[in-house]
Amino acid sequence: MGLPEYPRGHFGHYSLITKGGYVINKAFGFLIITSIIAAVLTGKISTITADSMSAAAAGVTRVFSLIGILTLWLGVAKIAERSGLLGLFTRLLQPFLSLLFPSIPKGHPAMGSILMNFSANLFGFGSAATPFGLKAMKELQSLNRSERASEAMCTFLAINTSSLTLIPSTIIALRVNAHSANPAEIVGPMILATLVSTFVAVNADFLCRLFYRKRGLL
């Protein structure tokens, strides 16, 4: 889960990709502006006022209904972290990691941070994953020392952005709140979809890496 944790003070460098953060601003503006224009055209202008008020109130209700599960899950996450269960899981993943990141030397601290980031993501501890992820980037940058992304960074982010989730706790909470007969029934299908998207990410990354090397692209 990408929770709103902007690491303020780190935005010294703007680039094409950093502007990606602004796409949401354009999308937000687009939704509101086209809606009002459409309401004028379709003669539904009176709905705009009532709708915006009731939607805002509904948003607040929705967030407050999530407080319970967020609290529960963060508490459980702390136990898993403190007891070393997260670390244990991390060691299980180790052999796969060496395969995925051939450019990282054995025993380099970047590997540990990447593993912790992946493990935290897998269990839906989104807020715990971000600090590990940023630490992993810092360590990868110590191997890279360039303004150009390294191959290991690209692989790391390909897997990270493809979403690694085994327990979508927030989604389940939303379903419980809406009185689903079986709130957890989406876990299996979701794991399947995640597996496929991660598989595609790893392969696309691999092919791009070969292509960039072959063409000598920067």
Q: Which of residues 140-199 bind another protein (CB under 8 A)?
A: 140-141, 144, 146-149, 153-154, 157-158, 160-163, 165-168, 170-172, 174-175, 178-194, 196-199
Nearest distance in Å: CB 116, another protein: 15
Angle between helices 85-100 and 109-122 (to 10 degrees): 120
Positions 45 through 74 that interact with another protein (CB under 8 A): 47-48, 51-52, 54-56, 58-60, 62-64, 66-68, 70-74
Spatial CB neighbours of 144, under 8 Å, sequence gap ≥ 6 = 150, 152, 153
The helix (run of H) or strand (run of E) holding residue 214 is helix 187-215
Q: How far is CA 147 from CA 18, 141, 150, 151, in A?
A: 13, 9, 9, 13
Spatial CB neighbours of 3, under 8 Å, sequence gap ≥ 6 = 126, 127, 130
| Residue 137 contacts another protein per CB under 8 A | yes
| Residue 127 contacts another protein per CB under 8 A | yes
> How many amino acids of this chain bind another protein (CB under 8 A)?
129
Nearer to another protein, 5 or 96 (CB): 5
Nearest distance in Å: CB 53, another protein: 9
CA–CA dist 116, 123 (Å, integer): 11
Nearest distance in Å: CB 94, another protein: 19
Please state the length of the chain.
218
| Residue 204 contacts another protein per CB under 8 A | yes
| Residue 210 contacts another protein per CB under 8 A | no
Positions 6 through 35 that interact with another protein (CB under 8 A): 6-7, 10-21, 23-24, 27-28, 31-32, 34-35
Radius of gyration of the chain (CA): 21
| Residue at token pair 């006022």 | 49
Neighbours of 30 (CB within 10 A): 10
| Residue 80 contacts another protein per CB under 8 A | yes
Nearer to another protein, 97 or 114 (CB): 114
DSSP state of 179: T
Nearest distance in Å: CB 107, another protein: 21
Nearest distance in Å: CB 98, another protein: 21
Nearer to another protein, 29 or 94 (CB): 29
CA–CA dist 64, 170 (Å, integer): 12
